Copies of this chain bind each other. A is one copy, B any other.
Amino acid sequence: MAKTYKTIDVIGTSSKGFADAAKNAIEEAGKSIKAMGWFEVDTIGGRIDNGTVSEYQAKVRIGFRLLSPEELKNA
């Protein structure tokens, strides 16, 4: 059977930077998704409080493979 993938859009946040915000989003998504394989960052930005950055944000598109029933059984 030909492989099939799905992508979802998740926004992570961090006080450190964009790479950490992306990583947080991915690790949070990984709690309910198996077989994640790659991500693309769609937009980056953040919140500002008292004249400086209070939160970095990264909107990431996460790609993962749709598992077959057999794979799901053995997962």
Contact = CB atoms under 8 A, between A and B. Distances in A.
Interface of A: 2-30, 36-41, 43-48, 51-53, 56, 59-63, 66
A40 B40 CA distance: 14
Contact of A53 (B16, B39, B53, B61): B39
A3 B13 contact: yes
B38 A46 contact: yes
Given A18-B19, A63-B11, A40 B41 contact: no
Given A38-B45, A46-B38, A11 B2 contact: no
A4 B9 contact: no
18 contacts: A2-B12, A2-B21, A2-B24, A3-B13, A4-B24, A4-B29, A6-B10, A6-B11, A7-B11, A7-B59, A16-B19, A17-B20, A18-B44, A26-B48, A26-B51, A26-B53, A30-B48, A38-B45
